[in-house]
Amino acid sequence: MSPVKLGSTRVSAAVTLIAALSLSACGGSGSSESGNAAADGQWPLTITDDTGREVTINEAPESIVSTSVTLTGSLLAVDAPVTASGATMPNSPVADDQGFFTQWSDVAKEKDVKALYQGDPDVEAVLAEEPDLIVVSKTGQDSANAIYDQLSDIAPTVVIDYGDKDWQEVTTKLGEVTGHEVEAK
């Protein structure tokens, strides 16, 4: 290897290391009071979702339905008890045969997450799952925000806007909502 290439490789490695360390430092320790309460096992938990609604969750969720295939991956990442989820078009370049994103579809299969529907949200399918928490996206093609009132009649329903947050912020918020704040860090 020539000295120039070796030097540029070292510079690239140093820049990568600095970037990684900088990003890990950005994680911060700030969290909401309600998130800490959930992590400490203090229920009921009242949170303000991304529509400004206050939502009270009486007990740690044991059966979560995500109407947003986009949010389901983050819920699985924090080990939240997701039992069912909306899905996207199956067998596409980004989705498996159930319509779950390939990045996390193996985890969904391992945890027996049921694909409720592809595309438009189905209130009856959500109701049939008897969830104790429903997670809805505010924006995107997988948003069920338009049927919030129907869903909130089934179980506490939390709306998350993933369009104005990075994945770390979304994951942290979902960790707080589900009592899995520690896993979200």
Domain boundaries, the chain: 1-29, 31-178
CATH number of 31-178: 3.40.50.1980
Query: Span 12-17, mean pLDDT?
Result: 33
Dig out the tokens for 140 from the structure. 């995107």
Res 35: pLDDT: 41
Give the CA distances from residue 141 to residues 64, 89, 104, 146, in Å, rounded to whole numbers and listed in that order.
20, 12, 19, 12
Res 142: pLDDT: 87
Task: Return the minimum-mean-pLDDT range out of 27-41, 53-67, 115-129.
Answer: 27-41
Does the pLDDT of residue 21 top 70, yes or no? Answer: no
d(CA 14, CA 19): 9
d(CA 81, CA 62): 6
CB 74 within 8 A of CB 170: yes
Q: How many residues belong to the chain? A: 185
Dig out the tokens for 166 from the structure. 């990075």
- List, in sequence order, every residue forming a beta bridge with 129; answer none if it has no partner: none
Query: Span 176-184, mean pLDDT?
Result: 92
Give the CA distances from residue 185 to residues 43, 73, 98, in Å, rounded to whole numbers and listed in that order.
21, 15, 29
Task: Return the minimum-mean-pLDDT range out of 21-35, 68-82, 166-180.
Answer: 21-35
Give the CA distances from residue 183 to residues 54, 143, 165, 170, in Å, rounded to whole numbers and listed in that order.
24, 25, 19, 13
Query: Span 8-21, mean pLDDT?
Result: 35
- Global confidence as pTM: 0.77
Confidence of residue 148 (pLDDT cuts 50, 70, 90): very high
CB 98 within 8 A of CB 116: no
Dig out the tokens for 47 from the structure. 């949170």
Does the pLDDT of residue 14 top 80, yes or no? Answer: no
CA 109 to chain centre: 17
**3-state DSSP call for residue 26?**
coil
Strands (DSSP E) found in the chain:
45-48, 54-57, 64-66, 82-87, 114-118, 133-137, 157-160
Query: Span 35-60, mean pLDDT?
Result: 83
- List, in sequence order, every residue forming a beta bridge with 86; answer none if it has no partner: 117
